[in-house]
Amino acid sequence: MKFKLGFGTGFKDIEIPDKNVINVLGANDIEIEYRGNDAVLHALDNPIASARLSEKVKAGHKVVILTSDISRPMPTYEVLPPILDELYSAGVKPSDITLVFACGSHRHHSETEMRKLAGDRAWNEIRCVDSDPDDCINFGYTKHGTPVDITRVVAQADFRICLGNIEYHYFAGYSGGAKALMPGCSTPAAISYNHAMMVDPRCHAGNIDDNPLRADLEEAASLCGIDYIVNVVLDEDKKIVYACAGDYIEAHREGCRFLDRMYKIRIDRKADIVIAANSGAPKDATLYQTQKALDNAKHAVRDGGTVILVGACNEGLGSKVFEEWMYEARKPEDLVERLKKEFKLGGHKACAIALIMRYADIKLVSELDDECVRACFMEPYECLEAAFYDAMERYGEDASVIVMPYGGVTLPICDSGVADVFE
């Protein structure tokens, strides 16, 4: 079988003997009623647990629309136009609307990047800015003690709309919903306090009902207030196949249920070798982002197996703290012990990788320097075929293989599960 795995703006090719491939994980075959702009329009016409957007917002309102940064595949440029039409029909002026890119702990954008994300129409009609962690207003604290620090332009708005694409998140359960506000528009201190809960075994991909970290960020959102959301689900080609709008809890949960129907993939057994890619640009620009495919792949690899992670990582590791923690550790377990004593953004990602190394080896096919990859306790490769045949040599000609071309969005489910790595 031949495979083309996304790698930056290109692909990595691999041919694997049919007898070895036990699963190729892609989207489930489900009925898609609406796509693209039609899906967004249908969602706006049928809001969940909410009045129509044009009936909620008022003329004179200062409106902020929060959306994802450049590290996410959210097609803001496609979703925004019908939302702007809806706002204008309610009497809201373009000068009263601000699009805020929810950067969270990520880097800020160039003007060119913001224009690309927003689309020409929004760029020309409304104000577009990045969230600013250095200029926030505090709304108090959650029951957990998380400070609710929100970027000033968002905090002072009369009406807040959150956009986002829903996919699996390795400790918040799912992306989308309130995540655009918290952590998207908050401070490093607040984000760290919330993310420190990731060590709870209930904080994992696909779990939301009793996920304390998700509950905490949604409580934070309630203290500031979210008036409306528009979330989408994308197919493997990053095209909209579903949209939901309305209440930031109820609409989001409906979107999560659709995602489960599409991307929760049941497998009969785990494999010796799992090949996982993060779908190419922009999701594999850094190791920090490519890690998400690795975290889903952990559910498909057997104890003692190997994950071949495919990601360009052309922008490097993606976090100064992440890099420092990796370079300062002598062995993967050092990262786990350090996180237990000292939670720090960036360090949490290093720990997440280290946890997988407790039961699986990781080969990384990337553009990173070999020395850098080895410092991250992974085996470096430029060639996917070389990584694969080295793994086959270890497990023999009958080795079982699972291929995850869209590792960042597909979630394998196996009855044998994954051990609680924080035990």
- Helix, strand, or coil here: 113? helix
Q: What was the pLDDT predicted at 342?
A: 86
- Helix, strand, or coil here: 138? strand
Higher pLDDT, 106 or 260: 260
Residue 399 is encoded by which pair of tokens?
């080795």
Residue 341 has pLDDT above 90, yes or no: no
Q: Evaluate whether 299 touches 414 at the Cβ level (below 8 Å).
A: yes
DSSP code at position 1: -
- Closest C-alpha to 273, from 16, 9, 70: 16
Q: What is the mean pLDDT of residues 364-388?
A: 97
Q: What was the pLDDT predicted at 199?
A: 83
- Confidence (pTM): 0.88
- Helix, strand, or coil here: 391? helix
- 235-255: pLDDT as tens digits: 988 899 999 999 999 999 999
Question: Cα–Cα distances in Å, from 275 out to 140, 288, 302?
Answer: 44, 18, 13
Residue 116 burial (CB < 10 Å; 0-12/13-18/19+)? middle
Q: What is the mean pLDDT of residues 191-205?
A: 91
273 forms bridges with which residues in the sheet?
306, 401
- 251-267: pLDDT as tens digits: 999 999 999 999 999 99
- 291-310: pLDDT as tens digits: 999 999 999 999 999 999 99
Report the C-alpha gap between 136 and 218 in whole angstroms.
Answer: 18
Q: What was the pLDDT predicted at 422?
A: 40
Residue 71 has pLDDT above 90, yes or no: no
Q: What is the mean pLDDT of residues 67-73?
A: 86
- 148-162: pLDDT as tens digits: 999 999 999 999 999
Please state, rounded to an integer, the average pLDDT across all residues of the chain. Answer: 94
Q: What was the pLDDT predicted at 416?
A: 56
Domains, the chain, in order of start with CATH, read 2-25+267-413 (3.90.226.30), 36-262 (3.40.50.11440)
Q: What is the mean pLDDT of residues 382-387?
A: 98
Q: Evaluate whether 155 touches 139 at the Cβ level (below 8 Å).
A: yes
Q: Evaluate whether 85 touches 118 at the Cβ level (below 8 Å).
A: no
Query: Which of 35-39, 76-80, 103-107, 249-253 has the least mean pLDDT?
Result: 103-107
Q: What is the mean pLDDT of residues 119-136?
A: 96
Residue 232 has pLDDT above 50, yes or no: yes
Q: Prior bond to 183 cis, omega within 30? A: yes
Q: What is the mean pLDDT of residues 103-113?
A: 86
E-only strand ranges, 80-158: 97-102, 127-130, 136-141, 147-151
Higher pLDDT, 174 or 279: 174
Q: What was the pLDDT predicted at 211?
A: 97
Report the C-alpha gap between 138 and 53 in whole angstroms.
Answer: 27
Q: Evaluate whether 131 touches 102 at the Cβ level (below 8 Å).
A: yes
Residue 417 has pLDDT above 70, yes or no: no
Share of the chain above pLDDT 90, in %: 88
Report the C-alpha gap between 391 and 274 in whole angstroms.
Answer: 10
Got the DSSP string for 317-339? SS-HHHHHHHHH-SSHHHHHHHH
Q: How confident is the model at residue 345 (pLDDT cuts 50, 70, 90)?
A: confident
Q: What was the pLDDT predicted at 105?
A: 75
